[in-house]
Amino acid sequence: MFLAKVEGSVVATKKDANMTGRKLMLIRPMLVDDKDPTKFKPGVNTIVAVDSVGAGEGELVLFCQGSSARLAPNLKEAPVDAVIVGIVDAVEVLGTQIYNAKQP
């Protein structure tokens, strides 16, 4: 699993039938900064992921990719490579909390 920030949504009216009714979100992976592990740094790429948990823009989420993504409920037949599987409440690195959803 990986961490990412939800940056927006994607709308595609024409898509594979197995994708009908699926909410698509644009996410940017977030990495712990190796120079300052008390902070995140954004990844350089963005990913379109199926949202299985009701995530919203600006939230930090857990996502998985590859064959693991199709293990999420009702996605076995869907052509997905990334799925949001959790909304993060807090992240702690080396004994320091670097993210808390309740604190902006």
Interatomic CA distance for residues 77 and 73, integer angstroms: 10
Checking if the pLDDT of 26 tops 80, the result is yes
pLDDT for res 100: 95
What's the CATH number where 45 sits? 2.40.50.220
pLDDT for res 48: 97
pLDDT tens string 57-104: 999 999 999 888 877 777 888 889 999 999 999 999 999 999 999 986
Checking if the pLDDT of 18 tops 80, the result is yes
Bigger pLDDT: 88 vs 38: 88
Q: Which domain holds residue 93?
A: 2-100
Interatomic CA distance for residues 54 and 58, integer angstroms: 12
Checking if the pLDDT of 8 tops 90, the result is yes
pLDDT tens string 49-60: 999 999 999 999
Number of domains making up the chain: 1
Interatomic CA distance for residues 1 and 84, integer angstroms: 10
Q: Which residue has the tokens 């996410």?
A: 27
Interatomic CA distance for residues 44 and 95, integer angstroms: 27
Helix, strand, or coil (residue 95): coil
